[in-house]
Amino acid sequence: MKLQIENINVSQIVFGSPGGIENGIVIVDREAVLGFIRELDPRISEVHLDIAQPGDSVRIMPVKDVIEPRVKIEGKGVMFPSLHDDENEMVGEGITRVLKGMAIVTSGRVVGFQEGVIDMSGPGADYTPFSQTRNLVITCEINDSCSSHQKEAILRKVGLETALLIGKLAKDGQPDETITYECKSLAEQVLEHPELPRIGYIYMLQSQGLMHDTYLYGVDAKNILPTLLSPTEVMDGALISGNCVAASDKVTTYMHQNNPVINELMKHHGSRYNFVGAIVTNENVTLQDKERSSAFTCKLAKQLGLNAAIITEEGYGNPDTDLVMNCRRLEEAGIETVLITDEFAGRDGESQALADATDKANALISCGNGNPTVVVPPMDIILGHLDCADTIVGGFTGSLREDGSICMEIQGIIGATSALGFHNLAAREG
């Protein structure tokens, strides 16, 4: 499978008519897009469209998802396959054009307590990668007759459909950068570079239900068995987020599209190692399901003849058991593992970092502790609902202060401790 990514570097978003792209400036026809969104579902009661750019005194909350606008230029499939009933072709081949540096951000009252914050400036901006993207922000309210699950589904559809609509503007742009990725058949890939270690990626997807969901080709990941996935399929929209989970380690759709683990493994394939491919697996609730998925993941890893694997998770607490179980089984099968995860070790960092443990986990990369607090100052513009500050994960009674500043744990900030490594935190010696 060969996928060519063509990046158009976006320097600014402006409202204007007609929509288009000129010299890196994306022109969005505000009224046309608002009309498009209103027509997506009759249960949408209110919708607003705003622009938030790096350095603006803007706070976006509560954030549901972040999506990168892309469009298929050539090849089978479409972006976000199975979003529409008649679009079920596999993706990961051909040419995909990207509005690089731009994002669609969705906001609105869905659950409220498990959504998060994006600050475009100030100390809060240092914790989220999306303070550096040019953001088209959709604040969408759903009729209160709908359940939380219905609201999530509608808002997910709004974000994806708008990303498709805006992504089409890239058809008329000129790419600034072209990158080609190629993944051979498994028969060829496993035998390639016999002098190098065979490396795989165990890609754990949040799938605990109760709005903790990820979708693979439109299928809720709680209903899958572990399966092989080409890295180029991930880049091409095969995975989308439906998660209302703790903001700091929420894997947004944008993060799936730009998974840094996959990008790094592809970058050094053939020089440092033979990157055989990815195994996507789920994070389950019952012990039986966890054991089944873990055993299945290990079977696939052995069938690929892996020497080592990188494992990432999404979430914390219950999913830590899936992480540890995958690690233990692979290590016992002779496959060395490296875990990438964040920690929730209390505000003082003195508590147990993970909810489960194994002595086999002897190589771990920490993406930071989500519990320390930060005070973010008031912003001139609030997109969404500031009154969620006391109830979002990371917030507490009194988080929102009279002057509009917020004291919260950094787990309330989107992407602050992303267990894919898609964040800004780093460690250094004191």
Each residue of 136-151: pLDDT tens digit? Answer: 999 999 999 999 889 9
Non-local (6+) Cβ contacts of 430 within 8 A are none
Asked whether residue 418 is assigned to any structural domain, the reply reads: no
At 211-229, the pLDDT tens digits run 889 999 999 999 999 999 9
Cα–Cα distance, 319 to 249 (Å, whole number): 12
pTM: 0.95
d(CA 367, CA 364): 10
The token duo for 169 is: 């503007």
170, HSE (Cβ side, Cα atoms, 13 Å):
27
423 falls within a domain: no
* Residue tagged active-site, from 140, 244, 298, 327: 244
Q: What is the largest CA-CA distance in the chain?
A: 64
Determine, yes or no, domain membership for 420: no
Domain assignment present for residue 424? The answer is no
**Domain that includes residue 235, residue range:** 2-412
Q: Domain for residue 106, yes or no?
A: yes
Terminal Cα distance for the chain, rounded: 46
The answer to whether residue 388 is catalytic is no
Q: What is the DSSP string of 325-337?
A: HHHHHHHHTT-EE
Question: Domains in the chain: how many in total?
Answer: 1
- Give the pLDDT score at 114: 67
Residue 430 lies in a domain: no
The predicted-structure confidence for 398-422, as pLDDT tens digits, reads as follows 999 999 999 999 999 999 999 898 9
Distance CA 160, CA 252 (A): 12
Task: Say whether pLDDT at 430 is over 60.
Answer: no
Burial category of 185 from C-beta neighbours within 10 Å (exposed 0-12, middle 13-18, buried 19 and up)? exposed
The answer to whether residue 13 is domain-embedded is yes
Q: Give domain status of residue 138, yes or no.
A: yes
Average pLDDT, the chain: 92
